[in-house]
Amino acid sequence: MNDFNNQEFFDDSNLEKGSFTQDPQGYPVEFPVDISREEYIRFNLIVSRTGGVLGFQKSQVVLISVVAAISLFMMVSDYVLYKRIDTANILLILFFAVSSAMLFYGLYYRIRNAAENTYDLTRQSGHSFYGIVTIYTDRIEKRNNTTRVTIRFSEASYIETHDMIIISAFQKPHIVLTARCLTMEDAEAVRQAVFGAVPVTRQKIVGRFQPLAQVHISPPENEAEGLQVHSENVISVDVNYTKEEFMKMSTDSSFRNYLKFLPFYSILSLISSLMLALLVDFVVGIFCYIVFNAGLIAFNLLSAKSRSARMYEALPRSQFTACFAEEGIVLKSPEGETIVKLGWDSILRAIERQDCLDFYSKALFIRIPKRCVDDLDSLKGFVDRHYTKYKKSTK
């Protein structure tokens, strides 16, 4: 939603009035679209299945299943011929079963969770998914009050399912058309334009698109406004992370993400270690278990430090202003542009640490270094009065 080109064709009054026109030849065609949270999640899953990591999921599971079947055959043969069961084979089959479960559910959960967080963060930042789509014979364009994206069909890829049309291009945001927003006429206009201009090799038809709308949707009231700050009682804190603070914040965030998948990693490392303990030596198994887990932790932390060190100079969010108001917390860039808006009811945790204040929502983590706060007691008192759901102090 970031790469947009200004064009002169669009009349902004259409966005406000909800009027949509087309020329005598049938194009351009205009209609409003929106995307809900669940639709956004489904869109991410569809893209991942058709051209992303989930697209290789089935083949990976088939390969693992074949190897597991061979191990099972060896175990059964060993029992039939020698009346014994090799514990290592049992552990190997268990290892493959857990690996398959991780591929099926672990990747799915991670993609879904990332999509949920992205959608929530986008909405909390005050951005709208509602917009006007204009279909030309050679391109598709989408615009709302703040952004515009243009994709030419000659460069586009097209995915169609029973409830969604997804049009994308290299280094361009996706344009997503959902069934609840399109009428039958809109859908046919899109399909005719796409099938006449998008190369067949870049068309993916998963299912016949079934539009559900009888009339065009109306603009949601105040959707793009998000949290509105009207109170005069505002405490502003200018935050400018040092390189060390930024790197520490990145490693803390990476470590929390690692902990979410710790049960899966622990099970795999435990099974692998037990196999080595039975095949080689018990001490070797314990050693490998410790090394495997320590290696994963070290990899996550070191890679996070490396990325954050490279990003620090270029990332604009290493500097921002945090405004604490009666309505919530608003983060603004040095240019005054709103980055994030969080109501107090969306903050899940507020933690005071030795050198910083941490605020957590479902999709966002905000850290305010204490050295940036002029009057720490006043800020803490303000937060205490407005945030009461969860409070913790770590010294």
Pairwise pLDDT comparison (92 vs 296), residue with the higher score: 296
| DSSP per-residue codes, 101-154 | HIIIIIHHHHHHHHHHHHHHHHHHTT----EEEEE-SSEEEEE-SS-EEEEEGG
**Per residue in 328-338, pLDDT tens?**
888 888 877 77
Give the start-to-end residue ranges of the domains of the chain: 235-241+316-393
pLDDT given for residue 318 in this prediction? 67
pLDDT at 387: 78
- DSSP 3-state of 281: coil
Collapsing DSSP to helix, strand or coil, 29 comes out as: strand
Percentage of the chain with pLDDT > 70?
A: 82
In the Cβ-directed half-sphere of 353, how many Cα atoms lie within 13 Å?
Answer: 13
The predicted-structure confidence for 48-91, as pLDDT tens digits, reads as follows: 888 766 666 566 667 767 777 777 777 788 777 777 777 767 77
- The model carries a pTM of 0.63
Q: Specify the fold of 235-241+316-393.
A: PH-domain like (2.30.29)
